[in-house]
């Protein structure tokens, strides 16, 4: 069924790119740099490390990553570290082809809401893997929201805040995610929602509550 919506709000991991990219490429790249972070000369990195307020910052970081805890300071830090991986060509983002095509061709405004920091989101969409080299999708994206700017993705107030910032009634915004708790929160805020199922996503017990999207061609 085609939803009638004026703007699209997209999750990233498990929605526009495989979960394996985050777990098997981005997180290991970040962890490789973890030991050197306390010795960094980058003032932004140093100030973020202080915010953890723990004695063993490296052990703390490793623990957060291993449990996939969506900690706002960790997410900010990851964005700064991934910059080097993308800029050196070591990392490119495997955004699904149907998502690339949709973002490139739709006339509707497209927004991003991810637990990854806005900086990390912009990097991912700047360095999208394409047949002829990387594709920069940033000019096609209206705005980015993260857990620092907008709150956690399982809280309905976060979606109200985002709808207010977009400047549309919540009912005119379609949110796509692989996570049913996020969809529940967005639905409570009045947004339209659809569950994205991609290869490698964890099975979701959605009990028929949501329309399913497996390919953005159907939007």
Ligand X SMILES: CSCCC(=O)C(=O)COP(=O)(O)O
Annotated binding site: 11, 13, 114-115, 153, 178
Site string for ligand X, 74-113 (x = CB under 6 A): -x--x-----------------------------------
Question: Could you say whether residue 76 binds Mg ion (CB under 5 A)?
Answer: no
Residue 124 contact among ligand X, Mg ion, none, beta carbon within 5 to 8 Å by kind: ligand X
Tell which one of 25, 33, 92, 114 touches ligand X (CB under 6 A).
114
Question: Could you say whether residue 13 binds Mg ion (CB under 5 A)?
Answer: yes
DSSP state of 22: I
Question: Could you say whether residue 22 binds ligand X (CB under 6 A)?
Answer: yes
Nearer residue to ligand X within complex by CB, 49 or 77 = 77
Q: Which of residues 140-199 bind Mg ion (CB under 5 A)?
A: 178
Q: Which of residues 126-155 bind ligand X (CB under 6 A)?
A: 153
- Identify whether the C-beta of residue 192 lies closer than 8 Å to the C-beta of residue 25: no
Does residue 175 sit in helix, strand or coil?
strand
Binding site per annotation, positions for Mg(2+):
11, 13, 178
- Indicate the burial class of 146 (C-beta count within 10 angstroms; 0-12, 13-18, 19 or more): buried
Alpha helical stretches, state H, the chain: 19-21, 27-34, 43-51, 57-66, 72-87, 97-105, 118-126, 147-150, 156-166, 180-188
End-to-end CA distance of the chain: 8
Tell which one of 8, 9, 14, 85 touches Mg ion (CB under 5 A).
14
Residue where the block lists tokens 């052990």: 59
Reading the block at residue 114, the tokens are 């991810």
Question: Could you say whether residue 160 binds ligand X (CB under 6 A)?
Answer: no
Q: Which residues form the interface with ligand X (CB under 6 A)?
A: 11-14, 22, 26, 70, 75, 78, 114-116, 120-121, 124, 153
């Amino acid at each position: 069924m085609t939803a009638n919506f004026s703007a699209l709000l997209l999750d990233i991991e498990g929605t526009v790119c495989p979960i394996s990219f985050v777990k098997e490429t981005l997180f290991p790249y970040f962890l490789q740099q973890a030991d050197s972070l306390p010795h960094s000369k980058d003032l932004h990195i140093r100030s973020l490390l202080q915010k953890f307020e723990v004695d063993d910052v490296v052990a703390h970081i490793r623990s957060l990553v291993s449990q996939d805890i969506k900690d706002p300071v960790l997410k900010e830090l990851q964005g700064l570290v991934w910059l080097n991986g993308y800029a050196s060509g070591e990392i490119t983002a495997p955004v699904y082809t149907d998502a690339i095509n949709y973002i490139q061709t739709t006339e509707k405004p497209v927004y991003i809401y991810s637990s990854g920091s806005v900086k990390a989101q912009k990097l991912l969409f700047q360095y999208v893997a394409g047949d002829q080299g990387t594709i920069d999708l940033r000019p096609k994206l209206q705005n980015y929201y993260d857990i620092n700017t907008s709150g956690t993705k399982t809280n309905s107030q976060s979606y109200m805040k985002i709808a207010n910032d977009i400047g549309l009634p919540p009912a005119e915004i379609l949110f796509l995610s692989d996570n049913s708790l996020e969809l529940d929160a967005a639905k409570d805020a009045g947004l339209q929602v659809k569950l994205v199922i991609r290869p490698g996503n964890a099975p979701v017990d959605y009990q028929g509550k949501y329309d399913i999207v497996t390919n953005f061609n159907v939007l």
